[in-house]
A = this chain, B = another copy of it.
């Protein structure tokens, strides 16, 4: 099931051809090399091209198995032997163009139904197991597969090639796109799985959409609350681990990886590429910034904002989130300071009568 692809890939293309698209210079390597796909530095293999832009990932560059890598001039020497360097002015923008050429149909939301006569709610190429239920008003798209005992409730939409395991409950009125879903999963009404992540190559002329060619992997026994949104990955997958429970109206960005048996309370936002370990708990309305990692068993208080990595097992709170003991002391200290300040000033205000002005300082 891990091999399912949701977008048609063009190519292969030669390195010279690719260099031509982006006005790039091949520094190390042979222009005749054939490139079959795009990938992150970490995941790329010997037929794939990747890119390097953020110094934070220098170690990934050094260890990459990619056949070629798009880089800026200043980083060309960091490209390891065996990997061709494709030097450009702006690696992110150039790589975005390469992704668009390999995946031309990823630039806009895919059709659920493909060309087939309407009239039924299950596409003729979909496979719905005996013992699964597809209620009236639900749509099961092309090549989708629905496992035994699963209920696709009224008004839900299952996208093309989506696979849903056994004994799941979907909706009513949920949408599941570009996703592989395990067994006994519950998606409550209005859940949105697998739409495009929010990725744009921004510029002073406008913002170009970065194709989002990853998927969403939902493991067994996950429950997702009403109107929660989980975007699919950009180059890799968004993953929700086994047994994790997510409340209503939670936002989960592209490339997020959530471990097993986590609990995410309502209105939390988890930004792109954040990673949560197992048994992490996050209180309501909290936020997790992009690229941070939260260790196994960590607990984050309501309304906190996680801006840096959190160690496993601790309790955290505040903006930015820090160990709860420190946070609570600081909150108490500030409250005391404010009280003292107000108490000190009060008699003086009465004496000189300028209390009003002071409030508007």
Contacts and interface: CB of A to CB of B under 8 A. Distances in A.
Interface of A: 108-109, 111-113, 118-121, 133, 135-139, 141, 151, 153-157, 159, 167, 169, 171-173, 175, 177, 186, 188-190, 192, 195-196, 198, 200, 202, 204, 206-207, 209, 221, 223, 225-227, 229, 231, 243, 245, 247-249, 251, 253, 261, 263, 265-267, 269, 271, 279, 284-285, 287, 289, 302-303, 305, 319, 328-330, 332-339, 341-342, 358-359, 361
Contacts of A207: 243, 245, 261, 263
A338 to B, nearest CB: 4
A260 to B, nearest CB: 8
Contact of A287 (B173, B247, B284, B336): B284
A350 B231 CA distance: 49
Given A189-B195, A195-B189, A229-B225, A109 B169 contact: yes
Contacts of A173: 155, 157, 173, 175, 192
Q: Which of A157, A167, A223, A271 has the most chain B CB within a 10 Å cutoff?
A: A157
Closest 8 CB pairs of A and B: A192-B226, A330-B338, A139-B154, A333-B341, A333-B338, A175-B189, A137-B139, A109-B169
B361 A332 contact: yes
Contacts of A267: 251, 267, 269, 287
Given A261-B207, A336-B341, A192 B195 contact: no
A330 B342 contact: yes
A227 B225 contact: no
A136 B361 CA distance: 60
Nearest to A205: B261
A111 B153 contact: yes
A14 B139 CA distance: 45
16 contacts: A111-B151, A136-B139, A186-B196, A188-B196, A189-B195, A190-B190, A198-B225, A206-B221, A207-B263, A227-B227, A227-B229, A269-B285, A287-B303, A289-B302, A330-B338, A333-B338
Contacts of A243: 206-207
Given A154-B112, A223-B209, A287-B303, A334 B338 contact: yes
Contact of A172 (B112, B261, B334, B337): B112
A266 B254 CA distance: 12
A186 B212 CA distance: 14
A249 B190 CA distance: 12
B155 A175 contact: yes
Given A139-B155, A189-B175, A192-B227, A198 B112 contact: no
A177 B206 contact: no
